[in-house]
């Protein structure tokens, strides 16, 4: 089963750039779309966007102007950059493959990183 491990800075000042990276272990990046999802403290889930292993991206329109995602297939990892952060960007950020399906008789589960709390404060 694929495992995701994510890392990046946890404390930012307003106007700085949030950068997170997610490593994919026990499986390949190829053939899937990989998402970033965030959750403000005490609130619900918000999809930030996704990237295919080919590099094709699909962003949430509400964040599109500030978001860049990239993929490094040689390292089996993908990354998120979010520019010009404000306090409203304070959240737990998850990398994920938030889909599940049957491949023949084998169930392929969703995979999530452990989550990173990113706090934006002056």
Partner 1 sequence: QSVLTQPPSVSGTPGQRVTISCSGSSSNIGNNFVYWFQQLPGAAPKIIIYRDNQRPPGVPDRFSGSKSGTSASLAISGLRSDDEADYYCAAWDDSLRRLFGGGTRVTVL
Give me 63's structure tokens.
């964040």
Name which position in 24, 96, 118, 120 contacts partner 1 (CB under 8 A). 96
Residue 12-41 contact track with partner 1, rule CB under 8 A, x = bound: -----------------------x-x----
CA atoms within 13 A on the CB side of 122: 4
Nearest to 103 by CA among 35, 34, 31, 36: 31
Q: How far is the CB of 12 from partner 1 (least distance, A)?
A: 22
**Which residues, 51 to 70, sit near partner 1 by CB under 8 A?**
58, 60-61
Buried b (16+ CB within 10 A) or exposed e, 77-94: bbbbebeebeeebbbbbb
> What does the binding site for partner 1 look like in residue numbers (CB under 8 A)?
35, 37, 44-47, 50, 58, 60-61, 94, 96, 98-102, 107, 109-110, 112-115
């Amino acid at each position: 089963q694929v495992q995701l491990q994510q890392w990046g800075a946890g404390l930012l000042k307003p106007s700085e750039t949030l950068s997170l990276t997610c490593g994919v272990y026990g499986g390949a990046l190829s053939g899937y779309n990989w998402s970033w999802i965030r959750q403000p403290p005490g609130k619900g889930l918000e999809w930030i966007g996704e990237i295919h292993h080919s590099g094709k991206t699909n962003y949430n329109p509400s964040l599109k102007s500030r978001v860049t995602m990239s993929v490094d297939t040689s390292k089996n990892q993908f990354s998120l950059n979010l520019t010009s952060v404000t306090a409203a960007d304070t959240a737990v950020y998850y990398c994920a493959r938030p889909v599940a399906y049957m491949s023949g008789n084998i169930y392929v589960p969703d995979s999530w990183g452990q989550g990173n709390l990113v706090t934006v404060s002056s």
